[in-house]
Chains A and B, each alone.
Chain A
């Protein structure tokens, strides 16, 4: 039973990811006084792409064609680990938060290789920048995550969320720092303003888009979907770890539907917040990203220190 719910939850997660991306676009459009496309537009795009014939460069190897599937699979696995509407599912015991970071690394490794596969300057540029940014973001992310896991004394995501739930409302300075660190990292890792701009196709500014420039058809669809999934993963991770209230703790129908309602509310709030931030901030130069991520790391470090210094004195 619980396995079935876990699989259904993952399927729901995967199905809802484009909707969240659509909503994010909607928020940004409204904030910038533009007319927004329909919320279902990402689904239409994906469907259209899968019907198109993919064009592959003659220099591409098997790795180029395999990468979209690998990336998509890694994201599905990550989605199965993150508690979405219910905690204590069997899938979250398979892998903990460090493995989750490992899944992201796996996807990124292959995406960067695919960028290098064709042998154009764009792909190389994208891979180089992506690996640079992610290698700076990973320590910041783990620092923030470690703060939480040390408080909950488990790296299991379900366990950490249950710990926060059981504890009730506690004002923890370390969580404040970790939250902000994780937000900054999430923005960098999902390739959004001010680190990367998902809507640009200008060679000087793009990072993620440069890597996937050669993809088309169903391959592109998978990669787009995967990055929508990644966006949603970070959103769910942040909202459920720091504000877990409302998540279903048993598998009753009412609890589950309430959990779905609550997580949608949290994600909507997060999207609005992110939309405002993206509208207000301009994109940074590439070589200011290290300062940005350095700041995220500092926040993570301060979170860790305040956990050690302020919260668990012996």
Chain B
């Protein structure tokens, strides 16, 4: 079962999944917040493209709506909101010193292999495209978590969280040829709510500890470390 024998749609979807994986890696290695948000927007754009491709090839008009929603939320609204937040906080010049960038990247690559390894059992019950797309989306989810672990800024955490959602969304589009409209609307609404909630949280964190560096929250530790 090789890529040459697949149709053009499958090849395009596979390339898209590779690019989505790449954007996850780019986010993982990114120290600057504004660029992180930009890469996140690119990932959203790739999702939009995938969705519209699926809509076109499966002739499923409600996927177009979902594509428009994705575009509006993940390419325009959330990046814009985060960007505004970063600019008002005057953090655009902060470069987060990522310790052991190489180790992080290699860790990410091994997570990718791992997610493929984990999903190997379902190979008999599903098509190639499904397995591979799910493997990539699982690794996007894991990479999102790794992003949250490795970065200190709360904004980066939000981006990581959102990219986890992106991974799940990608799997849904590719593997199930689009979820029912109701579910998608619900998810989109959830994301919107999450974004708003995060905005409120930022406000609170900032007023209480005067920074968005989550390591500062160590101060809230109950037991005195010394």
Listed in ascending order, the chain A residues whose CB lies under 8 Å from chain B are: 167, 170-174, 176-177, 291, 294-295, 298-299, 301-302, 305-306, 309-314
Q: Are A171 and B22 in touch, CB under 8 angstroms?
A: no
Contacts of A173 in B (CB 8 A): 14-15, 17-19
Distance in Å: Cβ of B106 to nearest Cβ of chain A:
8
Interface residues of B in 105-138 (CB under 8 A from A): 105, 109, 112-113, 116, 123, 128, 131-132, 135-136
Contacts of A299 in B (CB 8 A): 22
Q: Are A302 and B22 in touch, CB under 8 angstroms?
A: yes
Q: Kindly state the separation between the CA atoms of A236 and B185 in the bound complex, as whole angstroms.
A: 50
Closest to B113 in A: A305
Listed in ascending order, the chain B residues whose CB lies under 8 Å from chain A are: 1-4, 8, 11-12, 14-15, 17-19, 21-22, 25, 29, 101-102, 105, 109, 112-113, 116, 123, 128, 131-132, 135-136
Contacts of A312 in B (CB 8 A): 2-3
Q: Are B109 and A305 in touch, CB under 8 angstroms?
A: yes
Choice from B2, B21, B105, B112 contacting A311 with Cβ under 8 Å? B2
Q: Kindly state the separation between the CA atoms of A298 and B23 in the bound complex, as whole angstroms.
A: 12
Contacts of B135 in A (CB 8 A): 309
Q: Are B14 and A171 in touch, CB under 8 angstroms?
A: yes
Q: Are A176 and B15 in touch, CB under 8 angstroms?
A: yes
Q: Kindly state the separation between the CA atoms of A174 and B105 in the bound complex, as whole angstroms.
A: 18
Contacts of A306 in B (CB 8 A): 18, 21
Q: Kindly state the separation between the CA atoms of A306 and B19 in the bound complex, as whole angstroms.
A: 10
Q: 3 smallest A-B Cβ distances: which pairs?
A: A173-B18, A171-B11, A311-B3
Beyond the given pairs A171-B15, A313-B128, 11 more chain A to chain B contacts, judged by CB atoms under 8 angstroms and listed by A's residue number, are A167-B4, A170-B11, A171-B8, A171-B12, A176-B19, A298-B29, A298-B109, A305-B109, A310-B17, A310-B18, A310-B132
Contacts of B109 in A (CB 8 A): 298, 301-302, 305
A-B contact pairs, 22 of them (CB 8 A): A170-B4, A171-B15, A173-B14, A173-B15, A174-B18, A176-B19, A177-B22, A294-B101, A294-B105, A298-B29, A301-B109, A302-B18, A302-B25, A306-B18, A306-B21, A309-B136, A311-B3, A311-B14, A312-B3, A313-B123, A313-B128, A313-B132
Contacts of B1 in A (CB 8 A): 313-314
Distance in Å: Cβ of B58 to nearest Cβ of chain A:
18
Majority-rule SS of A interface residues: helix
Distance in Å: Cβ of A146 to nearest Cβ of chain B:
15
Q: Kindly state the separation between the CA atoms of A294 and B19 in the bound complex, as whole angstroms.
A: 18
Q: Kindly state the separation between the CA atoms of A309 and B116 in the bound complex, as whole angstroms.
A: 7
Q: Are B131 and A313 in touch, CB under 8 angstroms?
A: yes
Closest to B132 in A: A310
Known: A305-B109, A309-B135. A294 touches B102 (CB 8 A): yes
Q: Are B14 and A310 in touch, CB under 8 angstroms?
A: yes
Closest to B108 in A: A298
Contacts of A174 in B (CB 8 A): 18
Q: Kindly state the separation between the CA atoms of A173 and B14 in the bound complex, as whole angstroms.
A: 7
Q: Are A310 and B3 in touch, CB under 8 angstroms?
A: yes
Closest to A311 in B: B3
Q: Are A170 and B3 in touch, CB under 8 angstroms?
A: yes
Closest to A306 in B: B18
Contacts of B113 in A (CB 8 A): 305, 309
Q: Are B12 and A309 in touch, CB under 8 angstroms?
A: no
Contacts of B8 in A (CB 8 A): 171
Q: Kindly state the separation between the CA atoms of A167 and B4 in the bound complex, as whole angstroms.
A: 7
Contacts of B25 in A (CB 8 A): 298, 302
